[in-house]
Structure 1
Amino acid sequence: MDPYQVALHPNLPFDVDELNHHILQSVTDGIHVIDLKGTVLIENRASSLMLGWCGDCLVGKSGHAAIHHHHADGTEFPAHECPIYATLNDGIAREVDDDVFWRQDGSSFPVQYRTAALCNPDGVRYGVTVVFRDITERKRAGLMQQTLHGIANCAHDCESPAALYPQVHRMISALLSNDHFCIALFDEVNELLSFPYWVDARSSALAPVPLAQGGRVAEVIQQDRAILLNGVQMAGHVPHDWLGVPLRASKRVIGALVVKSEDPARPYTEADRDLLQFVSTQLATSIERTQKESQLRRMAQFDALTDLPNRSLFDDRLLAALQQAHRRSEHLALMFIDLDKFKPVNDKFGHATGDALLKMVADRLKTLLRTSDTVGRIGGDEFVAVLHPLAGAKDAGLVAEKIRQTLSEPFSLTGGLYLEISASIGVAIYTGAAAGGPNAIGPAELARIADAAMYRAKRSGGNAWIVAD
């Protein structure tokens, strides 16, 4: 007697065949049974529901050809490589943790399954039983956890929100298909909606707009709720699904995350909405943190009044320019620019007027120089500039004269106030690398020479420039 024979209650209200049928249909895992030729013998209710086949429509068909014909990446899955067929051949049970089965409608879903040889009372193998379950939610949960961890790591490693956005896009694309992806940020102070990250083959990024003109994106932000729209039809566009979720951080909405899909086979669902909202919370926190860190770094490197590089950043850029000039045997000019007659402006009109004037001076200097040059403010009414590359001292003199003339022109301030100032400019030329050595000086010595030339120009009456010999 088989010690593992199934025990049955003597007063069983059903015969054994009927009981087995009830058990088979009550199991929530899919049960798929094939014979030695691979023909489907039995499908329970759970299997039919997961595979999308009505009733016993799958019975009698080739199981591999019907549900296991391709890999997840769409490549063909030969039957001789199939674990289920391997069990048919050798009778050895197998467990597969991550595979895909295919539904009748052509879509696939991830599965975990176990195979076991099916034998008659004499031990003769006549088929295989496959017990499987849909692991979509498990994989999605794992992928979502991976995405959240990835966003947190990116937020820590990325130096700016701009560097964070494409990384987030890549990770979210693993969760949801999207033909359009954008991050919109809301500027509460100016009531403006900007789009710092926008990916859409059909349209270019939008310029900043007032929140009232932000359409559905503004609605997401104003109402602080996710919006899911299926089958949106717009003139000249393919019907699409649209999903937008608010970006919440520090108990406020800082913007919105929007995705759009034109794939009719994979419409967005409420589960997708909830998933994206969950991810967006982590994203919003990361964006806010990178924004604050970026602002702190900028405050440490830029002058708060003029938004020009401060002394620390300017010194770094001067050193980098000198190193490059040395490697390439190029000339470089360092300028010290000190404003004449600025103190009387502060004394007579106040510091607010003086600050406004300094901002206008900074703006004029930025428009005069090339993108390869650097202009900075190192304190009070003192500005500095590095010109690189440079043909020679003559070109430095031309730029210095242009600066002198431009800063001598009247400045128009609010309230109809016109002010006139001038500048004393000292210029030091780096030529050491080209000459082979005697003038190959460092940034400190170059700064001393430019500063001395500037004081010579100021002592001569100001409104002048001097290029040091």
Structure 2
Amino acid sequence: MDSPPLLPKVMDLLLDAVCVVDVEGRFVFISAACERIFGYTPEEMIGRNMIEFVFPDDRERTLAAAATIMDGMPHPHFENRYVHKDGRVVDIMWSASWSESDRLRLAVARDITELKRVEHTRNALYRISEAAHTSENVHALCQHIHRIIDELVPADNFTVALCDETDETLAFPYSTDPQATQLLETDTPIAEVIRSGQAVLINHDALAVDWLGVPLLTERGIMGVLAIQSDSGKRRYTEEDKQLLYFVSTQIASAIQRKQAEAELMHRAHHDVLTDLPNRALFNDRFDVALARAHRDGEQLALLYLDLKDFKYVNDSFGHEVGDQVLREMAHRLLQCVRESDTVGRMGGDEFTVLLTNVLGPEYTGIIADRIRAAIAAPFDIAGQRLTISVSIGVAVYPDQGEDREQLFRQADADMYAVKRQ
């Protein structure tokens, strides 16, 4: 019995795949390695057009490269993506040339999926680290991360859920699929990731929809979950995708943690430690912004300067702990009296300020001042003590009583002391 020809036998032993394509783009020969790379047997590929197997986003430039090769220009390092029989996307590097006499295109395909994965992962880690330094806040950081991850794994929907251990809920600083805060006990995939501490991959074969969630781990435990969902059906999630996302999740958790720490430091620098109200620096900054807007738009704004009467007596008689609780309750009541667009600040001690923007006439300022007096006059029930406190309020309105912050503060302060003397 004659042995098989040596050349086909040698080609079938190659790790790279050898393909021959006719002028119409149909496979006429496939070596055995194609099944390892693409998942299809030679019999399943021969006679079919090669473009059918190319990842849709790469088809146009693949056809352009094929036309260049058929014009007599060999292409030694062309890269594109093919869709494996099991739905995976594989990265291929081709070396191809054209035989004019045979009217055939000869190409050798090398699977570089793992090399590209390592390259993309390394690049993603670098870009995530860079985003942690350049993003303004957690939401902006998550937007950057979404774009980075979408280049690694299709992420039509992208969600970052962070745990709030104090009330066992989830906060969503970023999500392209808006959803309400969920209790951690609810039966959701995100809750499962948090409870198990493991990545979860769900393939909905009937719907061609995949969901993948990984825990965001820090040295203190699970801080939340990063979840992606693919709705396109073009690309199914795999165990390799799960491992990849799990690998980069540590860097993502570190980046989010860094941005949270920066936000916390910034918050502390601009807010009163006791009441969490804007401190003098932040209040003045907001006042200047509102003043510029009022000047530009021809609006009125009002400054209220508040001073608690006999607050020293509260501290001396009941202790500073009770006094601190009174100040915290004072801040809470003031916030209930104004709009979200207004600003309440603590200047220090028992002095507070209120900035009212877009004031509609002098009577509005009087209404708010009366509302504050009534709110503060209600008894404070603190640590078993029932305290009654009143407040002196000075008012200054822009532009009638001043055109800059210094003038308005002087006017409001003078008005407040006049009220105290009365």
- TM-score under structure 1 normalisation? 0.80
Q: Deviations over 1:303-349 (max 9, x none)?
A: 12212110000011111122222222322221110001222211222
Q: Distance in 2 between matches of 1:55 and 1:41?
A: 9
Task: Name the structure 2 match of 1:172.
Answer: 149
Task: Name the structure 2 match of 1:420.
Answer: 388
Task: Name the structure 1 match of 2:190.
Answer: 217
The question of whether the paired residues in 2 share the 8 Å contact of 1:109 and 1:134 is answered with yes
The question of whether the paired residues in 2 share the 8 Å contact of 1:69 and 1:78 is answered with no
The alignment partner of 1:390 has SS state of: coil
Q: Is residue 276 of structure 1 aligned with residue 245 of structure 2?
A: yes
The question of whether the paired residues in 2 share the 8 Å contact of 1:68 and 1:100 is answered with no
Q: Distance in 1 between matches of 2:314 and 2:88?
A: 75
Which deviates more, 334-343 or 95-104? 95-104
Q: Distance in 1 between matches of 2:379 and 2:44?
A: 89
Q: Distance in 2 between matches of 1:71 and 1:227?
A: 26
Q: Distance in 2 between matches of 1:57 and 1:176?
A: 28
Task: Name the structure 2 match of 1:451.
Answer: 413
Distance 1:56 1:229, change over 3 A: closer
1:409, distance to aligned residue in structure 2 (A): 1.9
1:75, distance to aligned residue in structure 2 (A): 6.1
Q: Is residue 387 of structure 1 aligned with residue 387 of structure 2?
A: no
Listed as ranges, the gaps of 5+ residues in structure 2 are none
Tell me which amino acid in the other structure corresponds to 2:196: Q
- Structure of higher CA gyration radius: 1
Q: Distance in 1 between matches of 2:138 and 2:274?
A: 23
1:227 maps to which of 174, 187, 200: 200
Q: Is residue 111 of structure 1 aligned with residue 81 of structure 2?
A: no
The question of whether the paired residues in 2 share the 8 Å contact of 1:70 and 1:77 is answered with no
Question: Counterparts of 1:12-411 in structure 2 under 5 Å?
Answer: 18-34=5-21, 40-59=27-46, 61=47, 65-67=49-51, 72-73=56-57, 81-83=64-66, 85-90=67-72, 92-101=73-82, 109-118=90-99, 127-178=104-155, 180-200=157-177, 205-209=179-183, 211-213=184-186, 215-231=188-204, 238=207, 240-262=209-231, 266-411=235-380
Q: Distance in 2 between matches of 1:179 and 1:125?
A: 45
Tell me which amino acid in the other structure corresponds to 2:418: R
Q: Distance in 2 between matches of 1:175 and 1:218?
A: 25
The question of whether the paired residues in 2 share the 8 Å contact of 1:68 and 1:102 is answered with no
The alignment partner of 2:57 has SS state of: coil
Aligned length: 421
- TM-score under structure 2 normalisation? 0.88
Q: Deviations over 1:287-308 (max 9, x none)?
A: 1111110010000111122121
The question of whether the paired residues in 1 share the 8 Å contact of 2:149 and 2:155 is answered with no
The question of whether the paired residues in 2 share the 8 Å contact of 1:231 and 1:241 is answered with yes
Tell me which amino acid in the other structure corresponds to 2:141: L
The question of whether the paired residues in 1 share the 8 Å contact of 2:34 and 2:42 is answered with no
CA RMSD, 1 decimal: 3.1
The question of whether the paired residues in 1 share the 8 Å contact of 2:280 and 2:347 is answered with yes
Q: Distance in 1 between matches of 2:330 and 2:132?
A: 37
Tell me which amino acid in the other structure corresponds to 2:225: A
The question of whether the paired residues in 1 share the 8 Å contact of 2:25 and 2:50 is answered with no
Q: Distance in 2 between matches of 1:159 and 1:57?
A: 52
Percent identical pairs in the alignment equals 37
